[in-house]
Amino acid sequence: MHNFVNKTKPLNHYTKMKKLLALFAFAGMMAFYACGPGAEEKAAAEKAKMDSIAADSAAKAAQEAAAKQAEEAAKAAADSAAAAADTTKKKEEKK
């Protein structure tokens, strides 16, 4: 009969506490997960995303406008330099 005796150890105090702690930890994680972002927080995140996109597109438009203005200024400077060179050439031809 000795071989058929239940050889598993009874749960001692520390094993019970470990299982209880694991149960509470799991329940806490599930509660934390269940209390995720609400509708207001999701709407605020979406609004922040849209504001960021709008700010980026405004900055890009301003950058393109500045580049176009710089290009026009360079073209105007080149035209005035060409006109000055042409005027100087005409003056030399008259002499």
Q: What DSSP string describes the chain?
A: -GGGS--SPPP-HHHHHHHHHHHHHHHHHHHHHHT---HHHHHHHHHHHHHHHHHHHHHHHHHHHHHHHHHHHHHHHHHHHHHHHHHHHHHHHH-
Report if residue 85 sits inside a domain. yes
Domain range holding 35?
Answer: 11-94
What tens-digit pLDDT sequence spans the chain (95 residues)?
A: 455 555 566 667 778 888 999 999 999 999 988 887 788 888 999 999 999 999 999 999 999 999 999 999 988 888 887 777 767 766 666 66
pLDDT of residue 10: 61
Is 48 contained in some domain?
A: yes
Q: What is the pLDDT of residue 30?
A: 92
Residue 5 lies in a domain: no
Q: What pLDDT is recorded for position 32?
A: 86
Does residue 3 lie in a domain region? no
